[in-house]
Amino acid sequence: MEKILVAVAGASGKMGREVVKAVSHEKDMAVSAAIDASHSGQDAGSLAGIGSLGISITPFLESAILSKKTDVIVDFTRYEAALTHLEIGLKHKIPCVIGTTGFREEDYKKIQEWCEKFETPALIAPNFAIGAVLLMKFAKEAAKYYRSSEIIELHHDKKLDAPSGTALRTASLMKEARAEFENHPSEEKISGVRGGEVNGIRIHSVRLPGFVAHEEVIFGGEGEVLTLRHDSLSRESFMPGVLIAVRKVRELKGLVVGLENIIES
């Protein structure tokens, strides 16, 4: 069996280490390179706690993929780094799986242009947990029946962006089902206490130690409340989705946003 060779960008981070571990345990794939600005020179496998893989962490993606054959790039870094890695990877015709969040609409347009120019696909997913994808799907369906909804997302205190990409994606999918939601404003005694607003949906962001990634979507109706909630209790919860993406990304066309677009195909 010819293995899928995966370059992991952000390999020394918490998500990157899980990706290194997950890829290394699969029979049909292997880590080809590990990229990170920190822990340069250290063995990626040892850092991930699975023993030496004979792959040293290097700070530069382009030199890594030029020196070793790579079939797919997986990126869990930061917004600016992920954009750079996307351009490099697509330029070298290597499909990219991106778990980094913080992209704006103009970024998606730019990435789509790169995909078309270099004829290479990319998948960007705000959340790779299967349960989170199902929550978004259920929220989109429920939005057809409820005019009022709010989203609460809770993440660890090291998460850089707010609201989360998952919350924004959820609101976007809900908008596809219903163009307008009823916003119920109230006088704020403390500025911002009612959260931010997207498409008439209030989004509240919590950042505290102890959390990993959690989302709650609350729908209010006449005499009833519907609550949808998903909890990722460890970063292992994202790995099944990442592995699906690694296996399927080379079959895609252009830019695809959202894991739901490939697990349903």
Structural domain span for residue 229: 130-233
Could you confirm whether 155 is annotated as catalytic? yes
**CA pair distance 11, 81, nearest whole angstrom:** 13
Residue 103 sits in the same domain as residue 38? yes
- Number of structural domains (the chain) is 2
Same domain, 180 and 202: yes
H-assigned helices in the chain: 14-24, 44-48, 61-67, 79-91, 105-118, 130-142, 165-177, 239-248, 260-263
Q: Is 65 helix (H, G, I), strand (E, B) or coil?
A: helix
One domain, residues 67 and 154: no
CATH number, domain containing residue 175:
3.30.360.10
Q: Are residues 180 and 145 in the same domain?
A: yes
pTM of the complete model: 0.87
| 116 and 18, same domain (yes or no) | yes
Task: Report whether 100 contacts 242 (CB < 8 A).
Answer: no
- Read off the pLDDT of residues 170-228 as tens digits, 9 standing for 90 and up: 999 999 999 889 888 888 889 889 899 988 899 999 999 999 999 999 999 999 999 99
If asked whether residues 197 and 218 sit together in one domain, one would say yes
The one catalytic residue among 155, 204, 230, 248:
155
pLDDT digit string, tens, across residues 50-76: 999 999 999 999 999 999 999 999 999
Together in a domain, 186 and 259: no
**Residues 209 and 163 grouped into a single domain:** yes
- Catalytic residue flag (residue 93): no
